[in-house]
A and B are shown apart, each in its own frame.
Chain A
């Protein structure tokens, strides 16, 4: 059974710092991995999607990497801003497009001005 964990559970950094959020999964046979951002009362927003054949994806100040063999993904946020404060979740889809998506518990990020 696939299990997804995220470390740390919470993170507080001063504005301007570069930071890394970690996601681990137990079954390396995944189809893709997706990073989301969750703001209170606003649901989830998709940030980056990495297919199993890809090693990384970039969008603006965000860079997500995927290492299937070790069961890890990292979300790198460059030059953090107070507006980046939110909960970040990773989610993995199983071996096929029809497999279920399993979410991690999330990392709560606070960027202090």
Chain B
């Protein structure tokens, strides 16, 4: 089973509809992220959460909201979908670990398979 699971994998919706994308993880990581990917623009951060009570806006949070229901669950909502929110959405997790050297810390991100959203 995947460590980071996104549902649904594909969704087509109409302008003005409310949409929720779900992300769950079995890695036990405290940090979770939502990104969107558009052709030629790479990935851009929407929201991120360092724990259940810590949620932060990313680069492009307008038009989106999130909920960290539990350490393992982080959902992304589009309250009123618009066509320019058509994109590939990725959820990611990370954990902060310190190596033996202690001054070097690792924050490797693990990604879900993505949700392809089309807003008509």
By the criterion CB–CB under 8 Å, are A41 and B43 in contact?
Answer: no
How large, as a class, is the contact surface on chain B?
A: 20 to 34
Contact A97 B107, CB 8 Å, known A43-B90, A44-B90: yes
B59 within 8 A of A: yes
Whole-angstrom CA separation of A89 from B114 in the bound complex: 15
CB-CB under 8 A from B55, the residues of chain A are none
CB-CB under 8 A from A100, the residues of chain B are 45, 48, 58-59
By the criterion CB–CB under 8 Å, are A4 and B42 in contact?
Answer: yes
Q: Which residue of A lies closest to B2 (CB)?
A: A43
Contact of B108 among A4, A46, A104 (CB under 8 A): A46
By the criterion CB–CB under 8 Å, are B96 and A97 in contact?
Answer: yes
CB-CB under 8 A from B112, the residues of chain A are 43
A45 within 8 A of B: yes
Please report whether the interface of chain B is mostly helix, strand, loop or mixed according to DSSP.
strand
Contact of B110 among A46, A89, A91, A105 (CB under 8 A): A46
Please report whether the interface of chain A is mostly helix, strand, loop or mixed according to DSSP.
strand
Whole-angstrom CA separation of A111 from B65 in the bound complex: 40
By the criterion CB–CB under 8 Å, are A105 and B106 in contact?
Answer: no
CB-CB under 8 A from B107, the residues of chain A are 32, 93, 97
A86 within 8 A of B: no
B30-68 contacts to A, CB under 8 A, are: 33, 35, 40-45, 48, 50, 58-59
Number of interface residues of A (CB under 8 A): 25
CB-CB under 8 A from B108, the residues of chain A are 34, 46, 49
By the criterion CB–CB under 8 Å, are B43 and A91 in contact?
Answer: yes
A29 within 8 A of B: no
Instruction: Please list the 9 inter-chain residue pairs (A to B) with the smallest Cβ-Cβ separation, ordered nearest first.
Output: A103-B42, A44-B111, A103-B43, A43-B113, A43-B111, A105-B42, A43-B114, A46-B108, A104-B42
Task: List, sorted by A's number, 14 A–B pairs whose CB atoms are closer than 8 Å.
Answer: A34-B108, A36-B111, A41-B9, A41-B113, A41-B114, A43-B112, A46-B109, A46-B110, A49-B108, A97-B107, A100-B48, A101-B109, A103-B43, A105-B42
